[in-house]
Chain A
Amino acid sequence: DQQVKQNSPSLSVQEGRISILNCDYTNSMFDYFLWYKKYPAEGPTFLISISSIKDKNEDGRFTVFLNKSAKHLSLHIVPSQPGDSAVYFCAASKLGGNTPLVFGKGTRLSVIA
């Protein structure tokens, strides 16, 4: 039973356009959400996070939106760059207890020049 779902295994976007990666979760106890980026042969690297007290968090070209009622979050990348091509993982946890992160299966983003 997947608690964190990324239903799009891949996404292609033109350079300069917006990339939108989606993530759904089922466990209502989750209150902290993160996005990780992974290049081939490297470990995942932290990108951006959001806690359930907010509905938006922005860091440069990256913005994460959280819709608690729909149990849905999304990552927006604007403008997309070829270096953004990677696998993006959504992860969820319960804040404050160092509980393990639960990951989705990832979405492979390809930004085409």
Chain B
Amino acid sequence: GAGVSQTPSNKVTEKGKYVELRCDPISGHTALYWYRQSLGQGPEFLIYFQGTGAADDSGLPNDRFFAVRPEGSVSTLKIQRTERGDSAVYLCASSETGVLSGNTIYFGEGSWLTVV
């Protein structure tokens, strides 16, 4: 597809369960980002991949959160032992590398996670 694709679009899970959220970036984009947006807040940075490696994971809130991008394309955000406070929209974005791209990143529609 032409844009960033995220699945599932909506996920309701019980407290304590494990959740995986998937992101398929724009073809050819080597940089991939995960953000989280809670109600009334702006997107909050979680982790950034350059290729297969996590270049910056300083935004991950704790060790229950983990993300992978094994082949440098699709990425999966994994949340263990979910808590009600994890409920948010999880946004994935991608961008080209290099100065010319100006760091413009393009977002998917998000995965709405509700922990009950």
CB of A93 within 8 A of CB of B42, answer no
Q: Is B72 an interface residue (CB 8 A)?
A: no
Contact assessment for B103 and A95 in the assembled complex, using a CB-CB cutoff below 8 Å: yes
Interface membership of A1, Cβ < 8 A: no
B44 within 8 A of A: yes
Number of B residues with CB within 8 Å of any CB on chain A: 30
Q: Decide if A105 touches B103 in the complex (CB within 8 Å).
A: no
Contact of A43 among B4, B31, B48, B104 (CB under 8 A): B4
CB-nearest residue of chain A to B31: A98
A98 contacts B104, CB within 8 Å? no
Which B residues from 77 to 116 make CB contacts under 8 A with A?
Answer: 91, 93, 95, 97, 99, 102-110
Residue of B nearest to A90 (CB): B42
Contact present for A43 and B45 (CB under 8 Å) = no
- Cβ of B40 < 8 Å from any Cβ of A? yes
| Closest residue of A by beta carbon distance from B91 | A43
Contact in complex: B109, A41 (CB < 8 Å): yes
Tell whether A85 is near chain B: CB-to-CB under 8 Å: no
* Cβ-defined contact, B109 with A103, below 8 A: no
B75 close to chain A: CB less than 8 A: no
Chain B residues near A97 (CB-CB < 8 A) = 103
- Over the window 23-62 of chain A, the binary record of Cβ atoms lying under 8 Å from chain B Cβ atoms (1 yes, 0 no) is 0000000001010100001111110010100000000000
A22 to B110, CA, bound (A): 26
CB of A102 within 8 Å of the partner chain: yes
Q: Are A45 and B107 in contact (CB under 8 A)?
A: yes
Contact of B105 among A4, A42, A96, A101 (CB under 8 A): A101
Taking the complex as formed, is B61 at the interface, i.e. its CB lies under 8 A from any CB of chain A?
A: no
Q: In whole angstroms, what is the CA distance A102 to B103 when docked?
A: 12
Per-position contact with B for A74-105: 1 when CB-CB < 8 Å, else 0? 00000000000000010101011111111111
Residues of chain A having any CB pair with chain B under 8 Å: 4, 6, 9, 32, 34, 36, 41-46, 49, 51, 89, 91, 93, 95-106
